[in-house]
Amino acid sequence: MTRFAGLSAAAARRSDGALPSRRAFLKTGAAVGGGLLLHAVLPGLARAASAESEAQGAAMLNAFVSIARDGSVTIVAKNPEIGQGVKTMLPMLIAEELDVDWQDVRTAQADLDTEKYGRQVAGGSMATPLNWEPLRRVGAAGRQMLVAAAAQSWDVPADECSTAQGVVHHAKSGRKLGYGALVEKAAALPAPDLASVRLKDPRDFKIIGQPLPGVDDPLVVAGKPLFGIDVAVPGMLYAVFQKCPVFGGKVASANTDAIKSLPGVRAAFVVEGGDNPQGLVGGVAIVADSWWAASSARDKLQVTWNEGPTRTQSSAGFASAAAALAKSAPQHALRRDGDPGAGFARAAQVIEASYTYPFLAHIDLEPQNCTAHVHDGKVEIWAPTQNPAPGALLVAATLGISESDVIVHMTRVGGGFGRRLRNDFMVEAAFIAKTVGAPVKLLWSREDDVQHDFYRPAGFHFLKGGVDADGKLVALSDHFVTFGHGERVADAAGMDASEFPAGLVANLDYGLSLMPLGVPTGPLRAPGANGIAFVFQSFLDELAHAAGQDPVDFHLAVLGEKGDPGRDFDTSRLRGVIELVAEKSGWANRHKLPKGTGMGIAAYFCHLGYFAEVVQATVAPSGAVKVDKVWVAGDVGSQIINPSNAENQVQGAALDGIGAALGQAITIDKGRVVEANFDTVKPLRMRQAPPVEVHFRITDHRPTGLGEPALPPVIPALCNALFAATGKRVRSLPINNAELKWS
Amino acid sequence: MAFTIEVNGVERTVDVDGEMPLLWVLRDVLDLKGSKYGCGAGLCGACTVHLDGEPTRSCLTPISRVGTAKVTTIEGIGETLLGRRVQNAWLDVDVMQCGYCQAGQIMSAAALLAKTPRPSDRNIDSAMTGNVCRCCTYPRIRAAIKKAAGLSTADARMP
């Protein structure tokens, strides 16, 4: 068995590639430590600075960059790579300002060390907005030190020197020196103040803005071990963990003695577990010589469960409870503008509709897994996680050790979508490894993964909209029935008081009512927005049709000329992408489409990005839906950092939304999940995936992220297209073909 | 029980239960981690390998049923000109997001192109629909298959 990654941080670094054994390090750390601006964002650089005095000689370890004598550059990718492209994109930011040739750069995945690297999270589409400037400054500080070293060597003013592709030039004398030859001298120089280092004019970018392929692509196509599931540690055993099908349930008894006698099984034991679904929950662990042996032994496992109170909950029960709650006023007021009652009274038309969307699972293609090894008073973890720091804390608390004794190596992640912001698999692996006293790889089956998620919460919206005689939206109300206890809304089940179109409608009323829920919930790609955009953007389309208006015109009228209704939402940017997507899709010619084919539009602002999308879909008389094409217009600011990855993310987000709308729902019955595998939770397939045409509107705003904001509008755009094609309004997801039959 | 199978041109002998799926023999006994577990039920295609050139779900193939069939995995597909061309097309198009499904996608694509050197969109749909890409890189998988076939990569399904 070969080692995927070593048992120590140093070994893990070596496994990233053939680093020279004697490296010269570039000391930009001190530079950043001196910068007030970035001290809080990148605290690790401060530590690197303080380590300066302890270092022997000139070789200094900087948090992000090392340069070898041959000029090759290693840049640390600090965040988890879940497929959003940050292992390529974040080092691009540093490399650009360092002014090196991207061909000379290799990247290395960071371990968890927030003191050194700052926040290490894949979530919220935040990698770009949080790192755009700080990481460029890290690169620029390094460049400045290399220039200073060259200037000293030549005894010329630094401002007579320039850099290009890893070489410092002095044009007047025709001299030049490569970074590899300068790095030791540079490391000994005083570090510049990070806040004052000069950044490139964007017109001079050579790496940022280039469509660069993912740094791990060659390893992926060759089938090299990269993912959590691929980790191998000498002496490793394999585990499965059977949890109670009913959320919150615990083991009453289990035939663990019989299981222990099965072939290959090394251990089988009951885990009592606690009540926090994000930590260790009740179940039975089976540890064996191979995962197949552990999984086969599980087929013989017999458990009597104490199912607990959630066993009475069901999706059908939630739907009827929501309908009952909708008959009364909301339990909690969320927002009230103007006089909604008077607004509705004055409206020429009042439309009422109820919308609902289901629980959703994340269905990461790589099932949850984690490898853990407890040794020398520490626990070492290899985890495909989006959010390692809280996982390390949970492991420390569960095992009763110090957080500093938890070492987390971040593997490449086979899909996140928000599921791996929770680290329950990490805690399970660590606990099982400690119990058996050997390294253990825990791997969930697909069924475990579908049935033990932190689900996108279902939601029920009861809406009312009023338009006046001129077709203007004058009053809107939403009674949102969601989940929670008392004043506390369940994870990812809330709605912001500034939810669109709040602030743009004179008379508006948003209220919440809560139902108790024993099913764990959590963020799914574009949390909140992924359900709420469907509701409001579909209802807006209903109101436009009621008002006899083109939905584009109606939407633009709601947005008004220019405004900021809250949460940094700039209505002119949304207007811009709506106009762009209407133009690119040929929206004005949609009346020429044949019967059964229609176009729908929707737009949404979330995760700092503005997206408008048009879907063209064809519905067969049988009701079968075919999505013909998607047009996307997005505004994420002044710079698309990596156009290849950006297009891929946007296409993927749009198709992800279509897949969820067409085929996905998690049904709760008797407190457990009914669906178990891809035959019932249906991921989008090749034959269902339409072309997705992507356009970016470049605007004079700071660049923001792309993992999420392209998803929310595609679902209402699709449903609005289905209405245009059939005259039937989809108010409940997933789309039910039987309700779309026409003749 | 001992089984001798030919994997990527090399005879390998393993001593395992005859019911153990080929996927787990490859991954956990032979240390070929490229083939992936996704569903264990033949529903996602992440475990796709070739048996005598036929795309096969290794998660549903007991080792006892492999017999004398030549097993080719993602680790060996680059040994053929066609396989290498498919891998290069994947790199040229920059298909990957998370990358977890791509070994299975490449194996299915290589099997398609071996039989249908100039596939239509419909051919691509039917050959690839068993392979799930949760990141939905389908437009790029389609383009990469066309590129490997020497066809235009433009998506011509709709004007």
Q: Does domain A329-359+456-740 have CATH number 3.20.20.70?
A: no
* Residue A17, pLDDT score: 29
- Does the structure show a pLDDT above 50 at A41? no
Q: Which CATH class is domain A14-216?
A: alpha beta
Is residue A31 a contact partner of residue A193, using CB atoms and an 8 Å limit? yes
Instruction: For residue A31, give the 3-state DSSP assignment.
Output: helix
* Banded pLDDT at B159 (limits 50, 70, 90): low
Q: B21 contacts in A (CB within 8 Å)?
A: 292
Contact across the interface for B132 and A213, Cβ inside 8 Å: no
Q: How close does chain A come to B7, measured CA to CA in Å? A: 14
- Minimum CA–CA partner of A441 in chain B: B28
Q: How confident is the model at residue A59 (pLDDT cuts 50, 70, 90)?
A: very low
| Average pLDDT estimate for A493-507 | 96
Q: Which two tokens stand for residue B25?
A: 């023999």
CA distance A133 to A136: 5
How many Å apart are CA A532 and CA B92, to the nearest integer? 38
* Rounded distance between C-alpha atoms, residue B112 and residue B124, angstroms: 8
Q: Which residues contact A583 (CB under 8 A, 6 or more apart)?
A: none
| Strand duo A65-67 + A73-77: pairing | antiparallel
Tell me the pLDDT tens digit for each residue of A231-278. 999 999 999 999 999 999 999 999 999 999 999 999 999 999 999 999
Give the least confident one: A59-68, A493-502, A576-585, A683-692.
A59-68
Mind listing the pLDDT tens digit for each residue in A343-355? 999 999 999 999 9
Among B59, B100, B124, B155, the strongest candidate for a mutation testing the A interface, having the largest count of A CBs within 10 A, is B100
Q: Tokens for A407, please give them.
A: 């070492």
How many whole angstroms separate alpha carbon A630 and alpha carbon A614?
6
The answer to whether residue A147 scores a pLDDT higher than 70 is yes
For residue A5, what are its two tokens? 């990654």
Determine whether the interchain pair B28/A652 forms a contact, defined as Cβ–Cβ distance below 8 Å.
no
**In this complex, do B139 and A415 lie within 8 Å of one another by their Cβ atoms?**
no
Say if the Cβ atoms of A221 and B90 lie within 8 Å: yes
Calculate the dihedral angle through the C-alpha atoms of B72, B75, B81, B85, rounding to the nearest 10 degrees.
120
Q: A677 and B75: CB-CB below 8 Å?
A: no
Residue (of A383, A425, A380) closest to A234 by Cα position: A380
Give the nearest chain A residue to B135 (CA atoms). Answer: A652
Give the pLDDT of residue A79: 96
Into which CATH architecture does domain A229-308+368-443 fall? 2-Layer Sandwich (3.30)
Mean pLDDT of the region A50-69: 51
Cα–Cα distance measured from residue A172 to residue A156, given in angstroms and rounded to the nearest whole number: 10
pLDDT at A743 (0 to 100): 87
Structure tokens at A605: 């602002």
Q: Could you tell me the pLDDT band of residue A47, with boundaries at 50, 70 and 90?
A: very low
Q: Are A473 and A335 in contact (CB under 8 A)?
A: no
User: Tell me: the pLDDT tens digits for A453-478?
Assistant: 999 999 999 999 999 999 999 999 99
Q: Which of A21-35, A398-412, A544-558, A707-721 comes out lowest in average pLDDT?
A: A21-35
User: What's the whole-model pTM score?
Assistant: 0.93
Read off the pLDDT of residues B114-127 as tens digits, 9 standing for 90 and up.
999 999 999 999 99
With residue A160 as reference, give the H or E element that holds it.
none
Contacts of A63 (CB under 8 A, 6+ apart): A29, A32, A42, A44, A45, A47, A48, A76, A116, A117, A138
Instruction: Please compute the mean of the pLDDT values over residues A403-410 and round it to a whole number.
Output: 97
Average pLDDT, chain A: 91
Mean pLDDT, rounded, for A182-206: 90
Q: Which of A63-77, A224-238, A303-317 is least confident?
A: A63-77
CB-based contact A210:B61 (threshold 8 Å) = no
* pLDDT category of residue A578 using cuts at 50, 70 and 90: very high
The pLDDT of residue A28: 34
Q: ipTM higher than 0.95?
A: yes
Among chain B residues, the shortest Cα distance to A222 is held by B75
Checking if the pLDDT of B64 tops 90, the result is yes
Is B100 in Cβ contact with A227 (below 8 Å)? yes
Q: Where in chain A is the domain with CATH 3.30.365.10?
A: 14-216, 229-308+368-443, 329-359+456-740
Mean pLDDT for B95-123 is 98
Res B158: pLDDT: 72
pLDDT at A547 over 50: yes
Q: DSSP H helical segments within A299-387, as ranges?
A: 315-325, 340-346
pLDDT of residue A62: 64
Whether the per-residue pLDDT at B94 is higher than 60: the answer is yes
Is the pLDDT assigned to residue A30 strictly greater than 80?
no
Give B100→chain A minimum CA distance, Å. Answer: 5
Give the Cα separation of B138 and A668 in Å (integer): 31
Sign of CA dihedral A706, A712, A715, A717: negative
Give the percent of chain A with pLDDT over 90.
Answer: 86
**pLDDT > 90? residue A50:** no
- pLDDT tens-digit profile of A310-342? 999 999 999 999 999 999 999 999 999 999 999
pLDDT band at A198 (very low <50, low <70, confident <90, very high): very high
**Can you give the pLDDT at residue A563?**
66
CA distance A271 to A493: 30
Q: Which residues of B touch A642 (CB under 8 A)?
A: none
Residues of B in contact with A662 (CB under 8 A): none
Least CB–CB distance from B40: residue in A446, A649, A691: A446
Extract the tokens encoding B118: 């100039």
Chain centroid to CA B48: 4
**Quick one: angle between helices A551-559 and A529-546, nearest 10?**
110
Give CA A8 to chain center in angstroms: 28
Contacts of A1 by beta carbon, 8 Å cutoff, 6+ apart: A232, A234, A236, B31
pLDDT at A130 over 70: yes
